[in-house]
Structure 1
C-alpha cells in the first residue's frame, strides 16, 4: 500500500493512513498500523463519547499503547502513572478521583468505570497529565494539550529525520515524558516501535533489537553506565542509526566519547534537552557538533526559541523557552483540571549562556544555590569540581546544614572535602562527604537528591536476628546488598551488573533459594525487582534444589580432603577447573574491556591475597614449604618430584590460567572478537589448549599435567546457548578427557561433572543441608588451603574426624577473608570525620 509522502503535518493518532506497515514489533510478533487502529477504535468505543478523566496504569506493553492512543483519540484527558509504583498510583487515584481506571496485564486491558459519567469539569484543551518526575505520587501534575503532543512529536520527528522505515526500541517507560515522546514521534511518521520492557543489560534485549531491525533507542545518563558494562561500544548492530540522550546532563567527556564511538561504528548521538513542562524536548545538539561542543545543549527544536533573561548577582541568565509545546500549566488538584492556558513561555530555572556559534550551554540552576557562611554556593559547580578530581558526585544542602555530598566509589573523603572547602572558600566543617557504592537514582535515571540529603542523618541498624530469619521476596534487595556488600541495590540491578563473581554467587544463590524457592537458570541476569516479585514457597520443603556447579564444588572439596587423609580415594580436583572455567565465562566476561579487566583483577586478588597470606603463615609454622610457595611460583621453579612443596599446585595452576586469560583478553582486538563470536572464540581457545593436552606442543607450563583445556571446556559450556552447541561441547568432553590421566575413575568424574553443569538445571539437596552445601562450595578454595595444616593435627582422632574438622576451619577462613576488607573500608569511612576534625 502506498503512503502519503507528505508526513510533515501527520499526527501520531492518524494510524490508519499507514495501512499495513508494521506499527508494533514484539518478541511474539508484529501488529500493523491497520490492526493497531482497529484495536484503538474498539477501546475508544468502550470509553464512550462523554469526556471523562481516565487514569492509565502504564506498562511497556501493547495494551498500554492501545489504551493511551484510544483515550487521546477519543478526547478523554488521560493521567498516566507507572503500573509498578502502586503507592504513587493509589495516591493519584485518591487525589484526583478519576472516572475510569485502566490497567493492563496478561495480554488484556481491564476498564474500571468508577463513575457512570464524570465528576470533573475538564477544560476542552486538556489531553494529558504527567508527573514531572515520572514516578512519584505527587499531586502536582503537568497539564498538556493535544496540540502540545502533536507539535512536539512533529518537531522531534523532523530533526531526527524519522521515516517509515525507522524502528525505535522502547527503553524507557511510557509514564515518562521522554519515553512517551519516542512513541509519539515514531507513530507520527509511520515508523515502528520495538516494544519491550527489557533492560539494556539483558542479552535478550539486544537479541530482540537485532531480530526486529531496530534503528534507535533512547537513553538517560545512567543508561550509558549500563551500556559500558555490557560492551555496547563493540556490539554488532547493523541497523542502528542513532541513539538519543536526555533526562539529565551527560558529562561532556562522556558525550565526546560516545559521539566518537558512534562516528566509528556508524551511528549518531543526539544529545537533547527538555522537560515535562515542554511536553518533552526544547533543544538538541546536532550529532556532527557533539564531539566538538560536548558541554552544550545545542539549538532550539524546530518551532521553538530561547532567550536569556538576566539574573541579579549572577554572571549567567535564566534560560526561557517559547514554543507550541509549552504546557498549559500545572495541576495540584482536581479543580485545576478546568483551567486553560496559564502561560505562553517556560522559565526553565536553568542558568545558561549562548555561544557565538549559536549553541546554548546550561551552566547551573537558579534553585541549586545555597548560602553557607555568607557565601553563595552553586551545587552544580560543586559537582563539576569533584568531577575534575575524578569523583562522580551529587551535591545538595541548605543554608543551615551546609553541603551534603554523595560520592560514588571508594575515594578519600577527607582529601576531597579539604580540596572542595578550599576551592569554595568554605569552612571544612560545612562540607560533609558520604562515599556510596552508587549514587541514589530515581527510576528515570536522574539523581535522587532527597535521598542524598538523607545521607546526613542515615544510620544503618542491623536486624536483631542478623537478617537471616524468615527471609522472603521482600528481602531480596537486602540479600543482594549483604552478599555483594552493596548499599545501593536497585530494582533494575542484576547480579552481573553488580559485579558479582563465582565466590559471591554461591552465597547469594543459596539465600535466594531459601527465600524464593527454586531459582530460574538465568537468575543472575534477572533484575532484583523481578526476583522480588516471585512467590515464596508456601511450606517448608524437605528437598531443596541447588545449581550443579554449587553441589559439585561442595562434594569435590570433601573428596579432596578425604583423599589426602586416605579415608577414600576419589579424585575431583581437576573437575573444579571445569567449574572454574564455567563460572569465569558467566561472571567475568561482561561489560566493556576496562570493566572486564577490573573484574578479572578483583577476582584474581580474591584468590591470590588469601592464598599468599595463608601460605606465608604455613611457611613460618612448618618446614614443608619454600619461599617459592609463598609467591605461588613452585610450579615454575620447584622440584620436579612430588614433595610437600606441591601441596598448593591447584591454587598455582588456577592463578596461572586466570592470568593467562586476563592477558589474552586485554588485547583489544581479541576482546572484540570474543564479544562478537563468544562460542566460536571459546572453541578456538580450546583447540589451542588441546595442543598441550595431546603433547603436540609443550607450553612450558608446570607439572602436574596442564589443565588449561579443562578450564576452557567449562568456558565453552557457559557460552553454549542452545542444544546444538551443548551437544557439541559434550561430545568434545567425551572425546578429549578419556586417556588424559590414565585414571578412568578421575576421567569419568570430569565428564559426568561437565554433563551435569551442561544439561541439568538443578540438583536435589536435603533442605537441612542446603546452607551447609552453600558454605562448603563458597569456601572450597579456603578449605583446600587450610586443610594441609589442619588434618595432620586431627589424624590421631581418626580419619573421619580429620575430614570433618578441616571443613569448619576453611569456612571460618573464608568468612574472615570476606569480612576483613569490608570492615577495613568501613573503619576508614568512620575515621574520616575524626581525622578531619
Structure 2
C-alpha cells in the first residue's frame, strides 16, 4: 500500500525489499537470544506494529543502535515505513546529544524510563527529505560528528545481496552479532543475513567473554564477523583450541589484518573445516567493496582481493607517489553512497557522488588481486619529509612491534602496544624514514584507545599524547616522592601509572638492582615484595634525623658474594662459599622474575632470554681469551667441561658455577614446558620447589654412589641450593620460612667439611629467607648496586686479571672488579644495539645468576 507523503516522488512502504519481505520466510528463526527465539513471522509483525506507530508521514527517525531486539525492530520498522533512519551508537549519550542537536530529528527511538520508547518531537517533518534517502551513518571514526554518509534504499539492498552472494549465505546460517548495530560492518551482517532468511544470534557480549561462546554453541551459530582487534581477543581466549562444530566461516574487515594473522587463521580454518573471508569496505560504500576468496588467503595474505559482485575498481594516478603501479583506489557500484551530509539542508540532496575515491593507495597484482599499500590522506609532512604512517606501522610489525602511527606538524607519534622499548622503536623509525630521532615520539601503551568498532581512536590517541606532554630528557635523579618518574627513568617506560608495579612494567633482575637502590634512596626503606606492589602503595615514611638506609637482601648478597669470590681467589683473604651462596640467590631470583603469572609460553620465553644473557657474554669472553692464546679448551667454550672434562684441567673448573646454573635452568625449563607440571607449580608454589629440593638431595648425598665413580656435574651435586633459594622466594609465613631454614641447617653442614664455609651459606640463606632488607648506608648502596648488577661479568672476567697482580692483592681485587663492571656496561650496550636490529632475539631479559 503506497504512502501518502507530501510529495508523490516518495517511495512506497517497504522500499527496501529484504525488509518488505521478512514475512515470506515464515516460521524460520530470525533472531536468537539468550531469552529465546523469534521467528521471521513474529519479527515481521513486530516491525509492522512499530511502523504503524511511526506513522505514514515521512519523517527523520533517529534510532539509538544496540544489539537488542528493540533496536533491531525500530531500525527495520523505520525502513519498512519509508522513513530515513539516523542510526546512532547506543551507550554514548554525548554522540546522541550531538547528533540530535545537529540534525533535529522528528522522532527519537531509544531506551527510556519504562523500556524502549518512541518519542515524537513533531507530527510532520521539519526537513526536506530526498525520496531515495534511507539511512544516515557516521563515517568510520567520527562518532558524534555532524558529517554523515547518505545511503539510499538501493544501496542497502544491493550491498546486502552482494555480500550474501559471495559469502554464499544460506537460510540455515546463524550469525552472531559481534559488532555494533550502528557500525556499517555490523549492520551489513544484519542486512545480508535477513536478505537470505538466515538467523541472527543477537548479543552484545564480547568474544573475550566465556558467555559469548556458550551462547554461540547453544544456538549452533555458523559465523561471526571481526575487526583486527577482534582477532587479538581471539588469540587471548584460545580460540584455536575451541570446539565449534557448526562454525562455517569467519569474516574480517574494518582495517588491515596483519598478513601473518591472515595466514594463521586461514590455515587454522583449513584444518578445522571453516573458511576465512578477508574483506575491505567503507561506510561510503554501504560497508563492503572487496573480498579475498578463502582459497587465496594463505598465499596472498596482504591482498584485499577482488571487487564484490556488481562493483568495480580502478586506480587513479597519484602524481607524487614514487611507484607508478600504485594509484588511489576508486570504486564504482550500486552500493556507493548518495553523498555526504553535514547539516539538515543536505538531506534534500540527491546523488552527488558517482564513484568513491577511497583515499587508499593500492596496486593490482598479476593475478588480478588488489593490495592496499598506504593511505593517501594519512600522509604527513614532517621536517620537509613526506611520511606514510601506515608504511611505518607495517615496517614496525615486521620487527615484532604492534603500533599505530599518527602524523603531526613537527613529529610522528608512534603508539606502541605492550612492552616495546621506546628507544628501539624510535631508532627503527628514524632509520627507516630518515627522520631525526627527536621528531619521533613513542608512546608505550598497555592498550590502544579504540572506538566501539574496534578501530584505533586517533583523536583519543592524540589527546593521550598531549596529556603525556612533550618528552623530556631523563633527570639525573627523580625528585623526592616522584616514584612514577623514577620508574619511568629506570625502566625507560612512558606508560608508568600509580596502579602498576615493577613486575607489571616488565622489570627484571638487572633493572631490579638499580631500582631497589634508587627506591631505597627515595623511601629510606624497602617494603617486603615491593616489586609486586603498585607504585601508589610505595610511600616514604616520615624521615627521622639520623635514619639509617637499608639495602635489598638479595642485592647485598650478590655484591658481597662476588667480592668474597674474587678476594678468595687472589687470595687477599680466604672466605669461601660465595659461589654456592650465589647459586641459592640465582634460584631466589629465578622464582621472582621468571616464574611470574605470565602464561606458560611467556614463562619459557623469559627463561630462554635469561639463559642467553648468561651464555652469550660468557662464551664470547672465553672465545676471545682462546683467540689471544689462553689455555681454555673447547669443552670450556661449550660449557660442558663438568661433563666431558678433561679431568685435572687447571682452568676447566673456572666456570663450574655458570655451567651449574645453565644446566639447572635448562632442566627446569624442560620440566615446566609440560602443561601438567606448569599447572602443578602454579597450584603449589612453595611445595613444588621443596619437592624438587628433596629430589636434588639425592645428588648432594650421592645416594646411588655415582659421584665417586663418574665425578657428577655440580648441577647434580649442588643443585639443591638453587631449589632452596627458589623455596625461600616462595615461602609465605613463619611456618614455611622455618621449614626452609631447617632444611638449610640440616643439609648444608657436612657438604664441604669446612664449618666456616658452610656457616656462610647457612647465614646467607637465612638472610634471604627472613629479611627483605638489611641495614646499610647510602654510599654502600650505590657501590653494592653496581657490584650486584655486574656480578656475572666480574665472575667471568676476573680469571684473566688477578693472576697477573698477585703481588698487589688490593690492586688485583680493584682491577678485577673494574674490568667486570666495564664488561657489563659493554655487554648491555651491545645487547641493546643487537636487539634493535634483530627483533625476536633476547632483549634485556632476566639474569637468574648472581
Fold shared by both chains (TM-score > 0.5): yes
Asked if 1:598 corresponds to 2:565, the answer is no
Asked if 1:81 corresponds to 2:83, the answer is no
Pair 1:663–1:65, CA change in 2 (3 A): same
Given that residues 11 and 188 in structure 1 are in contact (C-alpha distance below 8 angstroms), is that contact kept between their aligned partners in structure 2? yes
Match of 2:160 in 1: 153
Pair 1:465–1:317, CA change in 2 (3 A): closer
Match of 1:273 in 2: 280
1:340, distance to aligned residue in structure 2 (A): 1.0
Asked if 1:198 corresponds to 2:205, the answer is yes
Q: Distance in 2 between matches of 1:73 and 1:452?
A: 40
Given that residues 24 and 30 in structure 1 are in contact (C-alpha distance below 8 angstroms), is that contact kept between their aligned partners in structure 2? yes
1:206, distance to aligned residue in structure 2 (A): 0.6
Pair 1:177–1:134, CA change in 2 (3 A): farther
Pair 1:786–1:282, CA change in 2 (3 A): same
1:787, distance to aligned residue in structure 2 (A): 6.9
Match of 1:303 in 2: 310
1:313, distance to aligned residue in structure 2 (A): 1.8
Match of 2:138 in 1: 131
1:459, distance to aligned residue in structure 2 (A): 2.7
Match of 2:225 in 1: 218
Pair 1:403–1:662, CA change in 2 (3 A): same
Pair 1:811–1:67, CA change in 2 (3 A): farther
Q: Distance in 2 between matches of 1:603 and 1:221?
A: 30
Match of 1:319 in 2: 329
Match of 1:58 in 2: 65
2:422 to 410, 413, 421: 413
Asked if 1:140 corresponds to 2:140, the answer is no
Q: Distance in 2 between matches of 1:661 and 1:192?
A: 48
Match of 2:344 in 1: 334
Task: Give the structure-1-normalised TM-score.
Answer: 0.59
Cα deviation code 1:56-113 (max 9, x no counterpart):
1111111111111001111111111111111111111111111111113799421111
1:191, distance to aligned residue in structure 2 (A): 0.3
1:375, distance to aligned residue in structure 2 (A): 2.3
Pair 1:438–1:93, CA change in 2 (3 A): same
* Structural mapping, 1:345-744, within 5 Å: 345-398=355-408, 400-459=409-468, 482=500, 596-598=600-602, 662-665=672-675
Given that residues 129 and 141 in structure 1 are in contact (C-alpha distance below 8 angstroms), is that contact kept between their aligned partners in structure 2? yes
Cα deviation code 1:577-634 (max 9, x no counterpart):
xxxxxxxxxx979xxxxx552268889999xxxxxxxxxxxxxxxxxxxxxxxxxxxx
Q: Distance in 2 between matches of 1:305 and 1:170?
A: 28
Given that residues 56 and 101 in structure 1 are in contact (C-alpha distance below 8 angstroms), is that contact kept between their aligned partners in structure 2? yes
Match of 1:252 in 2: 259
- DSSP 3-state at the match of 2:451: coil
Cα deviation code 1:510-553 (max 9, x no counterpart):
99xxxxxxxxxxxxxxxxxxxxxxxxxxxxxxxxxxxxxxxxxx
Pair 1:73–1:373, CA change in 2 (3 A): same
Given that residues 59 and 104 in structure 1 are in contact (C-alpha distance below 8 angstroms), is that contact kept between their aligned partners in structure 2? no
1:332, distance to aligned residue in structure 2 (A): 0.7
Pair 1:193–1:662, CA change in 2 (3 A): farther
Q: Distance in 1 between matches of 2:165 and 2:243?
A: 27
Q: Distance in 1 between matches of 2:216 and 2:504?
A: 31
Pair 1:338–1:783, CA change in 2 (3 A): farther
Match of 2:109 in 1: 102
Asked if 1:240 corresponds to 2:244, the answer is no
- DSSP 3-state at the match of 2:47: helix
Pair 1:367–1:784, CA change in 2 (3 A): farther
Cα deviation code 1:166-200 (max 9, x no counterpart):
00000000010000000000000000001111110
Root-mean-square deviation over aligned CA pairs:
4.6
- DSSP 3-state at the match of 2:83: coil
Q: Distance in 1 between matches of 2:261 and 2:369?
A: 19
1:165 to 157, 172, 182: 172
1:450, distance to aligned residue in structure 2 (A): 2.5
Given that residues 363 and 371 in structure 2 are in contact (C-alpha distance below 8 angstroms), is that contact kept between their aligned partners in structure 1? yes
Q: Distance in 1 between matches of 2:155 and 2:503?
A: 46
Pair 1:810–1:381, CA change in 2 (3 A): same
- DSSP 3-state at the match of 2:88: strand
1:242, distance to aligned residue in structure 2 (A): 0.3
Pair 1:484–1:54, CA change in 2 (3 A): farther
Q: Distance in 1 between matches of 2:224 and 2:126?
A: 40
Query: Mean alpha-carbon deviation: is it higher for 241-250 or for 419-428?
Result: 419-428
Given that residues 275 and 294 in structure 2 are in contact (C-alpha distance below 8 angstroms), is that contact kept between their aligned partners in structure 1? yes
Cα deviation code 1:91-145 (max 9, x no counterpart):
1111111111111379942111111222111111111111112662111011111
Q: Distance in 2 between matches of 1:194 and 1:484?
A: 43
Query: Mean alpha-carbon deviation: is it higher for 245-254 or for 383-392?
Result: 383-392
Q: Distance in 2 between matches of 1:123 and 1:431?
A: 48
Match of 2:579 in 1: none
- DSSP 3-state at the match of 1:214: coil
Given that residues 12 and 189 in structure 1 are in contact (C-alpha distance below 8 angstroms), is that contact kept between their aligned partners in structure 2? no
Q: Distance in 2 between matches of 1:34 and 1:659?
A: 61
1:69 to 69, 76, 92: 76
- DSSP 3-state at the match of 2:213: helix
Pair 1:484–1:53, CA change in 2 (3 A): farther
Match of 1:20 in 2: 27
1:280, distance to aligned residue in structure 2 (A): 0.4
Pair 1:480–1:278, CA change in 2 (3 A): farther
Match of 1:517 in 2: none
Which consecutive unaligned segments of at least 5 residues does structure 1 have?
Answer: 1-8, 468-476, 488-502, 512-586, 590-594, 607-654, 675-681, 694-698, 705-778, 793-806, 814-819
- DSSP 3-state at the match of 1:154: helix
Pair 1:106–1:115, CA change in 2 (3 A): closer
1:780, distance to aligned residue in structure 2 (A): 9.5
Match of 2:548 in 1: none
Pair 1:232–1:117, CA change in 2 (3 A): same
- DSSP 3-state at the match of 1:458: helix
Higher-Rg structure is 2
Q: Distance in 2 between matches of 1:812 and 1:73?
A: 78
Q: Distance in 1 between matches of 2:774 and 2:33?
A: 50
- DSSP 3-state at the match of 1:93: helix
Pair 1:233–1:444, CA change in 2 (3 A): same
Q: Distance in 2 between matches of 1:812 and 1:78?
A: 71
Query: Mean alpha-carbon deviation: is it higher for 384-393 or for 416-425?
Result: 416-425
Q: Distance in 2 between matches of 1:189 and 1:252?
A: 31
